[in-house]
Amino acid sequence: MKILIVEDEARVGRFIERALGEQAYTTRLVTTCAAARDALADSPYDAIVLDLGLPDGDGFDLLREWRASGFNEPVLVLSARDAVNDRILGLNLGADDYLPKPFSIEELVARLRSLLRRQSTAPRATTLEHRGVRLDLLARVATVEGRAVDLTAREFALLELFLQNPRRVLNRTLIAEKIWDASYDLETNLIEVYVRRLRQKLDQPGAEPFIRTVRGAGYQLA
């Protein structure tokens, strides 16, 4: 389990990092909105602990962006603002829980564990759809405008990854980790080959390509 901690108070951040490390979670601590955006674009996380008052912005803006881009994992908001309105706003924006500062570290660990447990048993969407392309995850069937398309298991997994992250730019490292379990040589152009095959199978004549290349960054659904 990999947890992203977004907290600009060094002492609090290290305290959380140490407590989660003791529970055998892998953690990454960042102290700004910009670093949090980069961290999430770089690598998948199972949950986020998010402070609201950050030096370059508001944690609520990050939360709003992440949920809009399809990030579904639990987010536990930490805040010195104990106002009821903040709590309601946070939950409306898609926070899974809200812990006012100061908090006890035992409570933070317990709440996070409960969120992760709930997440792993929650029913997931069984169909994903974008611009006429539809994946039925149970039947393992892909269709374009209702017409069935033959995909190999890897092509299916790659398309599923894109559809689960509809607005996000997926970099090659993340794609390799998710689809090839990182036992993958990034020097090869295997990802390009697979993306090209998906385009051939999914693109409609005259329409914008279904998957666009973002130069120097990766790929994104168009």
Q: Which residues bind Ca ion (CB under 5 A)?
A: 8, 51, 53
Closest to Ca ion by CB, 17 or 51: 51
Q: Among 148, 161, 128, 157, which Cα is nearest to 202's?
A: 148
Question: Rounded to whole angstroms, how far apart are CA atoms 210 and 222?
Answer: 5
Residues in contact with 143: Cβ distance below 8 Å, sequence separation at least 6, in sequence order: 133, 134, 136, 149
Closest to Ca ion by CB, 5 or 191: 5
Q: How far is the CB of 57 from Ca ion (least distance, A)?
A: 11
Closest to Ca ion by CB, 78 or 142: 78
Closest to Ca ion by CB, 53 or 132: 53
Closest to Ca ion by CB, 51 or 96: 51
Closest residue by beta carbon to Ca ion: 53
Closest to Ca ion by CB, 51 or 73: 51
Q: How far is the CB of 49 from Ca ion (least distance, A)?
A: 12
Q: Among 140, 179, 164, which Cα is nearest to 70's?
A: 164
Closest to Ca ion by CB, 97 or 160: 97
Q: Beta 218-221 vs 211-214: how paired, if at all?
A: antiparallel
Question: Rounded to whole angstroms, how far apart are CA atoms 126 and 117?
Answer: 20
Question: Rounded to whole angstroms, how far apart are CA atoms 210 and 133?
Answer: 9
The CA-atom distances, in angstroms, between 105 and each of 10, 19, 115 are 15, 7, 15
Ramachandran category for residue 69: left, alpha or beta (phi over 0 → left; psi -120 to 50 → alpha): alpha
The number of residues in the chain equals: 222
Phi, psi (deg, nearest 5) at residue 8: -90, -15
